[in-house]
């Protein structure tokens, strides 16, 4: 008997799933048709197959767009009967974050990737010309692979892909929701699970589309290289491939750095990069792609390095697929802060990688002797020689990053093949305990070599360079770079000996090479390009790269933690045994109590919640005064926020806030707040009879009664007519020699009623009451309590990132350089076609 489910909206899911299957079938038709077009000998047959392939690809692109529209429609309307919608969204999400929820999970990410392949493919239908058929064969086949990730059907008992339009009642066995079998199960669903907290940031609306465009675009250089091998036209493919490879490097690099900006603003990395495995997985293909661009240029102008260019363009897309496997198979679940869990598609991801590795590298190996090679060795004074060396250095950096990032994969291979048991190994390979240093100690030397080569290689000529010519051109930029480096070293106080004096030496060498890359390329625009900016895209991109290196160096080496806990209030396991947080680098801020932090007095002024916003916003006021006269020199308020659950700080998900200056950023985020269900304070007051000059000791120090003050000024005391009030002027000294002033008030109101107004030292959880005057003994009665719970505070971490804007500006300049290079190469290709 069929159950008639009440309130379901089945049409979007049916249309979306039909579109996904249609896209899969149409992409197969396009692949076969383009393949037959390439293989056919007769022009009429070629054109017939190509026409069919074009229509098939257009149909699959429209079907992909329809799939996207159906899924977004379900998200927008909160149709929680769909598992994907229920799992990744909620009613309180702003419309902008619904896009984030679209690509928050595996299926949406693959669909986003497929959308970009479709857009790029449609462009290539118009501009591909003679390379359309072989290049589009590769792209159409990639669409087959991506489409298989979304159809979610069973073939020979094996589930192919995951259907994003699966209904909750169809996924009952995975969710443990017994009520979904009820006809009215939608009555039990009031809201969805919501979006992952770390994704609720505006960067996650724009970063994934840009990054996935970068991922998708790497298939075009791959496809051109593959087409060159396939058709045995080993040279001509580089002309159309060069602008596309520049575009791909620009988009992938931009996406990576947008991710760094997201980490800087939304994650508690304490910066923009932490060598997280997912970060590494996207960086490595960019390194090999940039290497391929430089070997392509070496071949274009000298005839050398063609085989290397094939290798780099092929390996780049393979590494994109490998990074997809790493981040979406669940293998990085214990080593990365933002990897996906396995949805049972690990086998498909591996197969996806294999079906591109085998034919691509198979043809490269089989036809290596056919690929044109110049037997004559390059001159060491030639540009192509050092372009090749630079590409090898990039490859070495990529290998080191990939090897360490893949440690979870090596462990699975070792365990799966029984090697661990065979060698009687007791433990898996452990990732480095200090991952940042592990990468930095190698990558800093990679950066040094790249910075140096970036500075000088453009001054070399292709094939050979007269020694006198080179030294004459490079002399002025070299001397100027040495002077600027010296000035930065002297006045910039670059000290970063955390890892020893040897690392500090490397820091100074990298400082010179970064400056050299900026000055050398800026000078080359006038020396080599004679001021012709249209042809200076490469030099401008290199200036940006030098600024990126310099920004990374200064912001990392001069980064200063200013939230130092000098009173050691957070010692004793405040953050828990498993936490990697350094308690000495976190500061407790009691509400409305100024605390010294670096050059600033910082006050936690309260928190607020905006309607419809799940975040709690904390008001943190910074104030900097002149030490001589106390005048306020600067004041501002930061609003770090956090997602809180009812279980308190264990579920704290903070988002930083920064104060931006031209020369620095003050970076602030919350690391702990009071647990909501803390037990009530059980501490008791202790009484002390003291006279002026007497001391009272407590756990963290002592206090001295300095005198009795008439007309006391205590913000907690509100005077009324007829009050007779005095204050006990107390000086509090802690074990760490921190000093505070207290003024508890004793008041006789209406001649009969005694009123006691306490004063507190919030950082010490110290409460003091002036309870009575003892005239005969010439003493007062003081009551002191050290609270064992204190609920109104935040714990905060703050850094100063000096000259972080050098990094961000460098990225923008790199992008401008890439755009200029793309435009210049496209125009140059058009001009050559017109001439021919």
Structure confidence by residue, pLDDT tens digits, 4-50: 888 889 999 999 999 999 999 999 999 999 999 999 989 899 999 99
Domain count, the chain: 5
User: Is residue 208 situated within a structural domain?
Assistant: no
Residue 23 is given by DSSP the state: H
Average pLDDT over residues 448-463: 91
In degrees, rounded to 5, the angle at the alpha carbon of residue 691 between the alpha carbons of residues 690 and 693 is 110
Angle between helices 106-127 and 132-148 (to 10 degrees): 170
Same-domain status, 82 and 142: yes
Among 375, 399, 426, identify where a domain stops: 426
Same-domain status, 67 and 172: yes
Q: 407-445, pLDDT tens digit by residue?
A: 888 878 777 777 766 766 667 777 777 777 888 888 999
User: Is residue 216 situated within a structural domain?
Assistant: no
**H or E element: which one contains 194?**
none
3-state SS, residue 569 = coil
| Residue 287 · residue 397 · CB < 8 Å | yes
Q: 163-172, pLDDT tens digit by residue?
A: 899 888 887 5
- How far apart are the C-alpha atoms of 152 and 362, rounded to whole Å? 31
User: Is residue 223 situated within a structural domain?
Assistant: no
Average pLDDT over residues 261-286: 81
Q: In this predicted structure, which of 124-128, 196-200, 325-329 has the lowest mean pLDDT? A: 196-200
Same-domain status, 416 and 444: no
3-state SS, residue 590 = strand
Average pLDDT over residues 769-778: 88
Within a 10 A sphere around the Cβ of 800, how many other Cβ atoms?
19
Select the highest-mean-pLDDT range: 336-340, 461-465, 649-653. 461-465
User: Is residue 567 situated within a structural domain?
Assistant: no
Burial class (CB in 10 A: 0-12, 13-18, 19+), 231: middle
Same-domain status, 116 and 185: yes
| Residue 463 · residue 385 · CB < 8 Å | no
pTM of whole model > 0.75?
yes
Same-domain status, 645 and 544: no
> What's the distance, CA 633 to chain centroid?
34
User: Is residue 221 situated within a structural domain?
Assistant: no
| Residue 280 · residue 350 · CB < 8 Å | no
**Per-residue pLDDT at 592:** 81
Among 426, 458, 474, identify where a domain stops: 426
**Per-residue pLDDT at 324:** 86
User: Is residue 220 situated within a structural domain?
Assistant: no
**Per-residue pLDDT at 764:** 74
- How far apart are the C-alpha atoms of 152 and 779, rounded to whole Å? 84
**H or E element: which one contains 296?**
helix 277-302
User: Is residue 712 situated within a structural domain?
Assistant: yes
Same-domain status, 654 and 515: no
| CA distance from start to end of the chain | 73
Among 175, 200, 225, identify where a domain stops: 200
| Residue 235 · residue 303 · CB < 8 Å | no
Same-domain status, 2 and 79: yes
- How far apart are the C-alpha atoms of 113 and 296, rounded to whole Å? 26
Length of the chain measured in residues: 836
User: Is residue 566 situated within a structural domain?
Assistant: no
Same-domain status, 156 and 252: no
Same-domain status, 239 and 374: yes
576 phi-psi bin (left φ>0, alpha ψ -120 to 50, beta other):
left
pLDDT > 70? residue 102: yes
- How far apart are the C-alpha atoms of 791 and 675, rounded to whole Å? 8
Same-domain status, 462 and 321: no
Tell me the residue range of the domain where 417 lies: 235-426
Residue 553: pLDDT band (50, 70, 90) is confident
Same-domain status, 531 and 604: no
Residue 317: pLDDT band (50, 70, 90) is very high
Same-domain status, 503 and 601: no
Please name the residue ranges forming H helices in 582-721.
none
């Amino acid at each position: 008997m069929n159950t008639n489910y009440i309130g379901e909206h089945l049409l979007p899911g049916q249309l979306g799933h039909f579109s996904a299957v249609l896209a899969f079938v149409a992409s197969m038709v396009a692949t076969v048709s383009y393949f037959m077009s390439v293989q056919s000998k007769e022009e009429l047959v070629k054109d017939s197959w190509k026409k069919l392939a074009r229509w098939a690809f257009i149909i699959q692109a429209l079907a992909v767009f329809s799939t996207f529209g159906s899924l977004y429609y379900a998200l927008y309307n909160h149709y929680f009967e769909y598992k994907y919608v229920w799992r990744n969204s909620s009613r309180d999400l702003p419309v902008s974050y619904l896009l984030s929820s679209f690509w928050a999970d595996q299926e949406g990410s693959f669909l986003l990737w497929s959308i970009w392949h479709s857009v790029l493919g449609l462009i290539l239908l118009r501009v591909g010309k003679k390379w359309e058929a072989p290049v589009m064969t590769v792209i159409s086949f990639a669409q087959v692979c991506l489409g298989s990730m979304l159809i979610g059907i069973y073939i020979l008992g094996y589930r192919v892909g995951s259907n994003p339009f699966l209904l909750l009642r169809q996924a009952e066995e995975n969710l443990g929701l017994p009520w979904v079998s009820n006809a009215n199960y939608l009555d039990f669903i009031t809201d969805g699970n919501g979006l992952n907290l770390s994704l609720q940031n505006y960067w996650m609306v724009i970063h994934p589309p840009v990054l996935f465009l970068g991922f998708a675009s790497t298939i075009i250089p791959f496809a051109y290289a593959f087409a060159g091998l396939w058709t045995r036209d080993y040279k001509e493919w580089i002309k159309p491939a060069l602008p596309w490879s520049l575009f791909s490097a620009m988009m992938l690099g931009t996406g990576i750095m947008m991710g760094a900006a997201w980490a800087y603003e939304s994650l508690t990395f304490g910066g923009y990069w932490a060598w997280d495995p997912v970060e590494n997985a996207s960086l490595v293909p960019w390194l090999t792609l940039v290497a391929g661009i430089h070997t392509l240029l070496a071949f274009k102008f000298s005839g050398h390095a063609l085989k290397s260019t094939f290798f780099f363009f092929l390996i780049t897309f393979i590494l994109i697929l490998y990074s997809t496997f790493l981040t979406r198979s669940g293998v990085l679940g214990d080593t990365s802060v933002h990897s996906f869990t396995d949805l049972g598609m690990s086998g498909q991801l591996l197969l996806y990688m294999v079906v591109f590795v085998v034919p691509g590298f198979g043809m490269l190996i089989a036809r290596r002797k056919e690929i044109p090679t110049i037997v004559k060795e390059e001159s060491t004074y030639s540009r192509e020689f050092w372009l090749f060396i630079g590409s090898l250095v990039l490859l070495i950096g990529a290998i080191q990053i990939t090897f360490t990032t893949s440690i979870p994969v090596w462990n699975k291979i070792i365990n799966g093949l029984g090697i661990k048991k065979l060698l009687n190994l007791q433990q898996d390979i452990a990732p480095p305990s200090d991952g940042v240093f592990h990468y930095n100690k190698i990558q800093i030397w990679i950066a040094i070599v790249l910075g140096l080569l970036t500075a000088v290689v453009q001054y070399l000529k292709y094939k050979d360079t007269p020694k006198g010519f080179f030294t004459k051109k490079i002399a002025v930029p070299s001397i100027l770079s040495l002077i600027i480096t010296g000035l930065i070293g002297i006045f910039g106080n670059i000290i970063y000996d955390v890892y020893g004096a040897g690392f500090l030496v490397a820091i100074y060498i990298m400082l010179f090479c970064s400056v050299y890359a900026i000055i050398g390329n800026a000078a080359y625009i006038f020396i080599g390009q004679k001021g012709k900016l249209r042809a200076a895209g490469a030099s401008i991109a290199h200036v940006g790269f030098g600024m990126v290196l310099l920004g990374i160096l200064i912001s990392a080496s001069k980064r200063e933690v200013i939230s130092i806990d000098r009173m050691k209030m957070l010692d004793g396991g405040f953050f828990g045994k498993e936490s990697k947080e350094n308690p000495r680098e976190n500061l407790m801020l009691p509400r409305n109590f100024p605390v010294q932090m670096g050059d600033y007095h910082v006050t936690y002024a309260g928190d607020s919640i905006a309607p419809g916003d799940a975040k709690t916003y904390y008001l943190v006021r910074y104030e900097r005064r002149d030490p001589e006269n106390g005048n306020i020199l600067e004041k501002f308020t930061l609003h770090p926020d956090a997602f809180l659950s009812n279980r308190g700080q264990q579920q704290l998900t903070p988002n930083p806030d920064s104060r931006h200056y031209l020369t620095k950023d003050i970076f602030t985020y919350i690391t702990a707040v009071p647990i909501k269900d803390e037990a009530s304070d059980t501490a008791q007051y202790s009484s002390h009879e003291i006279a002026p000059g007497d001391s009272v000791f407590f756990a963290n120090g002592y206090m001295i009664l300095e005198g009795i003050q008439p007309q006391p000024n205590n913000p907690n005391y509100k005077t009324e007519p007829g009050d007779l009030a005095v204050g006990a002027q107390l000086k509090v000294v802690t074990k760490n020699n921190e000093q505070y002033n207290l003024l508890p008030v004793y008041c006789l109101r209406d001649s009969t009623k005694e009123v006691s107004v306490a004063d507190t030292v919030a950082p010490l959880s110290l409460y003091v009451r002036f309870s009575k005057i003892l005239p005969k003994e010439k003493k007062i009665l003081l009551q002191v309590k050290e609270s064992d719970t204190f609920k109104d505070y935040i714990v905060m971490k703050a850094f100063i990132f000096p000259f972080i804007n050098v990094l961000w500006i460098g990225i923008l300049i790199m992008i401008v350089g890439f755009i200029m290079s793309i435009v210049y190469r496209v125009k140059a290709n058009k001009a050559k076609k017109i001439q021919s």
